[in-house]
Amino acid sequence: MGLFNATAFLKGAAQEGLNMFNKAEAIGEEGIENLKAAREEVNEEIKTMKDTYNKAIQIGDNVGGGAFAKYLFNTQDISYLAGLANETQETRTDELSTLKKNFESLSEEEKAKFSDGDFSETVKADYDREVEALKVNGGLVNTNNLGVATANTLGGKVQQMVDRQFEPRRQAIIDTVGGGQLKESSPISGGFESIPTATTGVIDFSTGGGGDMEVARLKATILTRFEDYLESNRFKAPGTTLFTNAEAKSEFGNVVGIDYNRTYQEGDYAGMTGREIIDSKLEDMVEELENLDTPIYATKDAIMMDILKQNFINKNFGDVFNYTGLLDSTVAFEPEDEWFF
């Protein structure tokens, strides 16, 4: 008959207990190695995310900080703002112009929501939250994966005991992961004002655009092209406003609908040439302008210059600008007159 061998039983129990500890330690060591690998992955993700946030902060600085920057970070995705930093100057300006227009269309009450605090404070809070989320999603958290039933077994209790011994090492690894400091915000003075406002519709050439530097530059370019147009066609002597040749008056006649070379046979101007009608109409216009409630004093040459400018701008740049000039202040050249037909 078999007899109970206490010594053998105790040795077996001791061996089983040792095996439990060895298994628990092996699991703990494996967990440490997995945690190290997770740390490297999370650190790389944080590095990329930090670069994204820093680029976005630079955009916030470029637009002058303040309420507009806060508006951008509250309404746009961080990756979109960071992406603007990698765009061409033209594309970035176009995008920011549209966003500025949207911001300026807000009511004062809506704008006020973005007036308190510095935008960088909001960015830092968002960044810290994302870093913590990355640590959790990347597995850098201390969690007890043992179920209640398992934890109440001998093996489970051994595992918990050994886990406590690994806790300082795990925490030391987790503590080495952090977002670090984002770049310090330094908003550019006048950044917001330098952004041209996207426009819809046509801009009045004389009064539109306000302090928009982009519109001002475009106006200057158009005026330079107008001067080139006049001089290249010999419509005026360089550096003067005097139209002294038939070509200039013929061009002017084309603009106002009078054939410079024609002799008219009907109407109030029967027997007169187009040149004579132009001179007569210009004299009428000089008188009309002087008799306005707010008188305008202009010579015939200045009137011709202004009407040619109006035609040049509205014909070539009418999708952007509308030039309202002296022609709109009088009826001298309105086409309903009989001479026009």
Residues 6+ positions from 338 with CB-CB distance below 8 Å:
266, 267, 268, 269
Residue recorded with tokens 């132009």: 278
Instruction: Give the helix/strand (H/E) hosting 188.
Output: none
Looking at residue 152, its amino acid is: N
Q: What is the mean pLDDT of residues 54-77?
A: 90
68 falls in which pLDDT band (50, 70, 90)?
A: very high
- Minimum mean pLDDT range among 151-165, 167-181, 312-326: 151-165
| Confidence check: pLDDT of 315 > 80 | yes
72 falls in which pLDDT band (50, 70, 90)?
A: very high
| Confidence check: pLDDT of 167 > 60 | yes
Find out whether 233 and 247 touch, Cβ atoms under 8 Å. Answer: yes
User: Phi and psi for 203 in degrees, rounded to 5?
Assistant: -95, 135
Query: Between residues 181 and 212, which one has the greater pLDDT?
Result: 181
143 falls in which pLDDT band (50, 70, 90)?
A: very low
| Confidence check: pLDDT of 252 > 50 | yes
Find out whether 236 and 230 touch, Cβ atoms under 8 Å. Answer: yes
194-215 pLDDT tens trace: 777 665 557 888 887 666 677 7
Helix boundaries (H) for 202-332 = 213-232, 246-256, 274-290, 300-317
- Minimum mean pLDDT range among 25-29, 87-91, 262-266: 25-29
| Confidence check: pLDDT of 3 > 70 | no
Quickly list DSSP for 112-164.
HTTSSS-HHHHHHHHHHHHHHHHHHHTT-S------HHHHTSHHHHHHHHHHH
Q: Tell me which residue of 102, 117, 127 sits closest to 67, measured CA to CA.
A: 117
119-139 pLDDT tens trace: 888 888 888 888 888 777 656
User: How far is 288 from 279, CA to CA, in rounded Å?
Assistant: 14
Burial 86-100 (b: 16+ CB within 10 A, else e): eeeeeebbebbbebb
User: How far is 106 from 103, CA to CA, in rounded Å?
Assistant: 6
What whole-number percentage of the chain has pLDDT above 90? 4
Find out whether 173 and 48 touch, Cβ atoms under 8 Å. Answer: no
| Confidence check: pLDDT of 148 > 60 | no
Find out whether 313 and 204 touch, Cβ atoms under 8 Å. Answer: no
What pLDDT was estimated at residue 339?
Answer: 40
End-to-end CA gap in the chain = 138
28 falls in which pLDDT band (50, 70, 90)?
A: low
266 falls in which pLDDT band (50, 70, 90)?
A: confident
What pLDDT was estimated at residue 334?
Answer: 62
**How many helices (H) and strands (E) are present in the chain, helices listed first?**
12, 2
59 falls in which pLDDT band (50, 70, 90)?
A: very high
What pLDDT was estimated at residue 338?
Answer: 43
Sign of CA dihedral 186, 188, 189, 192: negative
| Confidence check: pLDDT of 90 > 60 | yes
Q: Is 322 helix (H, G, I), strand (E, B) or coil?
A: strand
User: How far is 262 from 282, CA to CA, in rounded Å?
Assistant: 18
Q: What is the mean pLDDT of residues 303-326?
A: 85
User: How far is 339 from 242, CA to CA, in rounded Å?
Assistant: 26
8 falls in which pLDDT band (50, 70, 90)?
A: very low
